[in-house]
Structure formats: structure tokens, C-alpha cells
Amino acid sequence: MVNINPIIKAEDLVKRYGELTAVDGVSFHVKEGEMFGFLGPNGAGKTTTMKMIQCVSPKTSGKLEVFGMDVSAHEREIKKYMGVVPQENNLDPDFTVYENLRNYSRYFDIPREDAEKRIEELLNFVQLQDKKNVMTESLSGGMKRRLVLARALLNNPQLIVLDEPTVGLDPQARHLIWDKLRSLKKRGVTIVLTTHYLDEAEKLCDRLVVMDYGKILVDGKPSQIIKDHIGTGVVEVDNHPGIVECLRKSETSYEVMGEIIVIYTNDAMHISDQLSIECALDKMTTRKATLEDVFLKLTGRKLRE
């Protein structure tokens, strides 16, 4: 592959809020046209990282470049070519759907005629044509999110940064958003997002990082990350006394997670056969390893916030 300059380049990026270090020396590159995910439990520092990329929160130290420009010196320039979907919807409640977009387009100096054309296209794209003259309060959660997405696309951005674009949406609304992101990616837009939906991240992200306590724990292609940290398969068995003992003897890699034991392997068939013979197990579930397994293995099961 040709070596192109990254769209985002972060090196040893740090963000402190007073005593608290929210982002603790992260480094990553996002390439042009890529869909790049940030995963991690609540409080991991994802939103803080997104805000620094969006040039709305200044970094404490380290290096952060977007489109090859330093975020602290070129914020207006960078923001001109970026679209933003913030974690919290901030649509203008004083305006209708159409007025929200029209008003926002002015901040980018989009001429009236171009803006009107673009708004029609975008309302079609996010399937909100028939809500054009509705006040935003009366939209459903999914519609609001789509409108925020449309707003982020007004300026034809080369990069869009989305902070939990699908949080709190029902499956239909969620799929619609992911579908839109996929078609944006096809058009060559670089996409950076945070999400809690690991299965979707696994399917859609070209590369991703898992963050916790302000640090990046792993990065890479989803399939590679799973292979490296889990293997190809997982066998789950009920946590009975005696089983741990047997597992220890059979030298498999496993983890006790409350009522169940999870065994990581590259050969699920073999392990399950072996276990049913050696440990006299009859109840087992064998499945493919997923990103969720990696996530839980790396960040633990403890509840956050």
C-alpha cells in the first residue's frame, strides 16, 4: 500500500483536568478513508480524545495533528473540513429541522443556494424529508441523531468524528446510522468514532483501539486483535467446584467470570472434546471469539460509573 500522510496523528497526547489525567499519553494514527474506532468503558477518556481532535478542548501536552495541522494553531482551518457528532445532541430547540441545518450552514459560509440544495440531499440521505418543518423537540431519539449526522455533513467534511453515534437507540435506528456511516466510508470520508456496541465495531471498523484509564491497551484490526488476545474460539462452561481443578491440569487458558468459566482457544472443537472426556463435562457452549471477549479480558468485569 502507498504510504499516505495520516489524517490524524497523535503522539504521546495528554489531557489533564486539574489533578485528573483523563488522557494519559496516547499515540495513534488515522489513515485517509479509514473507519477508526475508540472503545473503552465509561470514563476511559474517549470523549476527551474526540474533543481534542475536534479542536474544542486544548491538549495538555503531546502532539496532535489533524490534516497535517497542529490543533492548537489551526483550529478554524481544521474545523472547516471536519464534521462533528457530539456525545450529547445539541440541536437548536428554537428552530425546525430545516432551520437547524440552514442556520448551521451559515457558520461554514455556505452560500444560500448551495446550502438549500445540500440540505435537501442530506434530509433525503438521513430520511428526514417529511420532518423538514417540524421543531426538533418532537423528533424521536433516532431522528435527532440522524439530524445531528446530517448537520455534521453540511460542509462536505473529509473527516467526521462521532462520539457514541448510536447510544440509546433501538436496533432499527442504530442500524440505519451504521448503514449511513458505511455509505459515507464508501465515498471516501474518513470516520472516527467511539462506541459501546462491540459487535458493530468489530464488523465496521477497519482499525480500532481499546482505551482504559486514559491509556490505549491495544490497537489494530479487529480480527487481528481477537486472534492475538483470545484465539479463534471460546468455550463456556458452568462454574462447578472441581472444574477449575481439572482445567488447571489440562493447561488451558481460561478465566473465571462469576457463574461461568470462559476458555480461550484456537481449537474449540478439540478443547470441548478433551474437556468432556477429562473433566466429565456435559454442558458446554462453543462459539467464535469476539471483540467483547477481548474487551472484557482487557478491561475487566468491574462496573464503571
Partner 1 sequence: MSYLQYFLIPELDRRLLKVWLRNKDVFMKNIKLNFLPPFLEPILYLLAMGFGLGTFVDEIGGVSYAQFIAPALIAVSVMYASFFECTYGSYVRMYYQKTFDAIIATPLIIEDVIAGELLWGATRSTINALVMVPVIAAFGLIDLKYSFLIIPFAFLGGLLFACIGMCFTAMTPNIMALNYPALLFITPMFLFSGTFFPLEVLPEPIQYLALAFLPLTHIVRVIRTLAYGSLELSLISDLLWILIASMLFFILSMNLMKKKLIV
Ligand X SMILES: Nc1ncnc2c1ncn2[C@@H]1O[C@H](COP(=O)(O)OP(=O)(O)O)[C@@H](O)[C@H]1O
C-alpha–C-alpha distance, residues 108 and 110, integer Å? 5
Q: Which stretch binds partner 1 (CB under 8 A): 95-103, 171-179, 217-225, 267-275?
A: 95-103
The three three-digit cell numbers of residue 41, written as one number: 468503558
- Picking from 188, 148, 189, 154, the residue whose alpha carbon sits closest to that of residue 167 is 148
Q: Is 265 in the site for partner 1 (CB under 8 A)?
A: no
Strand pairing category for 35-39 and 207-212: parallel
Walk across the sheet containing 190-194 and list its strands.
82-85, 159-163, 190-194, 35-39, 207-212, 215-220
Please, which residue, 30 or 52, has the CB nearer to ligand X? 52
Nearest to ligand X of 17, 107 (CB atom) = 17
Q: Which is nearer to ligand X, 10 or 143 (CB)?
A: 10
Q: Which is nearer to partner 1, 80 or 196 (CB)?
A: 80
Shortest approach of partner 1 to residue 267 CB, angstroms? Answer: 49
Q: Would you say 39 or 176 has its CB closer to ligand X?
A: 39
Long-range contacts of 116-124 (CB under 8 A, 24+ apart): 118/154, 118/156, 119/154, 122/150, 122/153, 122/154, 123/97, 123/98, 123/150
Give least dist CB 174 to partner 1, A: 23
- Which range of residues in 89-97, 265-273, 276-284, 293-301 is near partner 1 by CB under 8 A? 89-97
Q: Phi, psi (5° rounding) for residue 163?
A: -105, 105
Q: Which of residues 47, 54, 272, 299 is near Mg ion by CB under 5 A?
A: 47
List interacting residues with partner 1 (CB under 8 A). Answer: 17, 54, 56-58, 75-77, 79-80, 82, 84, 86, 88, 90-95, 99, 103-104, 106-109, 155
